[in-house]
Structure 1
């Protein structure tokens, strides 16, 4: 035996045997995705680790954005106070330094007045501050610091994410670590922030002579677009990291595979749509409209589901807070039903045909959907506290991640 080992080592067979034992034959495994096709093991590991870091950073950005958004009720109040402070500072400087350049002061004053803190019909800022304080209490120094640091941290985290993406991407592109399917993706954050500082328009049907005091806010449509883009970016990073890190054992094609794939894609679409309507709920503060479950107050279908002042039925489903919360509930119920059906079909298929990895992914998916449902109910009946709201938003990404993992596991079954 010792002589055989010595012979193998001297003739160069030892490294070959080690490589053969380490990597399984080609017909027993599949790369599952063309993103990582043709890359050696070192390249796959390095790029996969980088994608994993980007996935975690994108997840963190979504959580930071959610906490910032759920702390939003005081943000308009904060902006009004800062705007009034700027006006006072400009006036003081103009009186004390009459020979100072007036162009800068006038331009700043013009920009300040463009924010809806003054109105030709009255003191809009006083009404706004009064309404915010009446609904959510006074602005304390600790709350001021919390909102300010969360907003600042969210922006800096997004910039850091772009830096962590851009610099290694250029290096990997130069070294040939990327395949043709790896392309850069952009973000939509600047577009969301751009829409914030303007007075909200009254709903359709409100008389021009009627007093309407709204809250300057980021458009709920752009907020949903921002969250959707972040979710898509997170999904692309996560899927690519799966493709670089994981190799599934091939599974023979079995009956019911097509139904599983159709239900998987349907579940992903439903969960994503539910997430979009959740952004509508957050943007319109619809979580404070009805805080009871399972009924909305004492009705299954609220009376103000469709209100003429919002226009058509389609506009009600997007702009009416009651209809938006109702749609979010219905989409959540449908998602739970679809995922439970998907889990049941996976269990019926049997361990021998699906393999343990697919079944474990189905169990994980089922646990995630029930956990997310429980978080949603707790958030609603507790009047949307920041902690539960942020956990509910992160739960949606976790649920979507389990669906992506289940879908990736199904790729172990060859198409032919």
Structure 2
């Protein structure tokens, strides 16, 4: 048998090499992920602004200044003195005017009218931006696979939000009512946060490729994801309770901290005549519940943060630390509000902080599910 040379070529160098193929995820149409992400970020900013403007509308008592729902013609404000007088006359027919604002003149009415009108126009702008973006991407066939139902769902929830907004306003037009029903206000705000949370999650998803997300999910931390999901749910409940506080001005009824009006437990925390409605209509009950859940949320956040410290992923640990810092800031704003009877600037800051905290919890939760792995050299894998 002939001896073979040590460096003998074992393959034909001229032979063609097999073409490497990618997996199904990489081969699937990616669509305009970056463009859709940018569009969703614009929607996110608009929804955030709407939440803050809605808070200002409520705190200034402006929500009932427009007593009809006119989705199309309502976009045009009064242009003449005659039109202004017509709107003012309509407002004078509801209980809020006769009970709360009997001395209001036309100039005072214009002040509250512009708050509510601006809030409604911002809601319409969100609907327009969504519709133009969605239809544009749909016609151009740039929506990634499986994303059409998600983006359509955002628009459907936005349309539902407009209907719930009028359902809320209409409750304040009934006899004996001087403001909207607090539980309807909580429903309206809760849906706004749901829309905001979905958009934020989708933005995070679109910031990375499907292949990268699949690889990241293999390194997920299920327990951290689970408890951060619980934290997100509890934060959402606290936001709804905050809406109930705002809905009946409970934040201005009992001031002081840590006591409420000088009492650890308010004397009028339960009105037997109200029954279960104490949780919606009794300022003492509503504010006390909001405070207690706030304490529980803080403890839970610390527990989640301590668990996150054991994460092997630096980005994940940083995300949960940012969440805890936002929690501390929100606690401080809440205390300042109850000490100063919720003035407009502080109350809006507290609502702004709620959005920041909610989004940061959501972001930390996303990192628990899809961690960003960093190599020993500090380079993202």
Q: 1:363 to 1:112 in 2, by over 3 A?
A: closer
- Which of 269, 277, 296 does residue 315 from structure 1 map onto? 277
Q: 1:112 to 1:239 in 2, by over 3 A?
A: closer
Question: Helix, strand or coil for the counterpart of 2:273?
Answer: helix
1:403 is aligned to 361
Kept after mapping to 1: 8 A contact 2:186/2:240: yes
Residue 412 (structure 1) shift: 2.0
Kept after mapping to 2: 8 A contact 1:77/1:128: no
1:382 is aligned to 340
Are residues 1:291 and 2:255 paired? yes
Residue 140 (structure 1) shift: 9.9
Q: 1:144 to 1:258 in 2, by over 3 A?
A: same
1:237 is aligned to 199
Q: Residue deviations 1:77-101, cap 9 Å, x none? A: 999xxxxx99xx89xxxxxxxxxxx
1:150 is aligned to 115
Question: Helix, strand or coil for the counterpart of 2:230?
Answer: helix
Number of positions where the alignment pairs a residue of Structure 1 with one of Structure 2: 322
Structure that is richer in helix per residue: 1
- Over aligned residues, Cα RMSD in angstroms? 3.4
Q: 1:129 to 1:113 in 2, by over 3 A?
A: closer
Are residues 1:53 and 2:15 paired? no
2:59 is aligned to 70
Kept after mapping to 1: 8 A contact 2:256/2:339: yes
2:168 is aligned to 192
Q: 1:377 to 1:216 in 2, by over 3 A?
A: same
1:216 is aligned to 178
1:267 is aligned to 231
- Which of 107, 110, 115 does residue 94 from structure 2 map onto? 115
Q: Distance in 2 between matches of 1:171 and 1:322?
A: 50
Q: Which runs of 5+ in 1 are unaligned?
A: 1-15, 80-84, 91-107, 118-123, 201-214
Q: 1:39 to 1:57 in 2, by over 3 A?
A: farther
**TM-score scaled by length of structure 2:** 0.75
Asked which structure has the greater RCO (Cα within 8 Å, sep 6+), the reply is 1
Q: Distance in 1 between matches of 2:166 and 2:183?
A: 14
Residue 37 (structure 1) shift: 10
